[in-house]
């Protein structure tokens, strides 16, 4: 399973539902079958981002571990 530092793709401030969808599209485009997402370098995250991220995680086959 690949570990992905989310800040290398979206930056250290995760602010919107759109950003969460962009991250999901990134994973699909990279054809990653399973990923562990590293949030350790994130400075701030909004409820909107996390709500969408959680929703997408529940629907996805490729984002299996947080």
Higher-confidence residue of 1 and 64: namely 1
Q: Give the pLDDT confidence of 24-48 residue by residue, as tens digits.
A: 888 888 887 778 889 999 999 999 9
Is residue 21 predicted with pLDDT exceeding 60?
Answer: yes
Residue 21 Cα distances to 6, 12, 52, angstroms: 13, 16, 7
Based on the number of CB atoms within 10 Å of its own CB, is 8 exposed (0-12), middle (13-18) or buried (19 or more)? Answer: exposed
What is the pLDDT, as a whole number, of residue 66? Answer: 46
What is the pLDDT, as a whole number, of residue 61? Answer: 63
pTM above 0.95, yes or no: no
Largest pairwise CA distance in the chain: 27
User: Quick one: which of 12, 13, 16, 53 has its CA closest to 35?
Assistant: 53
Tell me how far apart the alpha carbons of residues 51 and 41 are, in angstroms, rounded to a whole number.
Answer: 19
What is the pLDDT, as a whole number, of residue 35? Answer: 80
């Amino acid at each position: 399973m690949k570990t992905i530092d989310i800040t290398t793709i979206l930056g250290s401030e995760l602010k919107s539902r759109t950003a969460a969808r962009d991250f999901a599209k990134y994973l699909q485009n990279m054809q990653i079958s399973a990923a562990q997402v590293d949030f350790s370098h994130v400075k701030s995250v909004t409820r909107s981002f996390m709500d969408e991220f959680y929703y997408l995680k529940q629907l996805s086959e490729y984002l299996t571990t947080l």
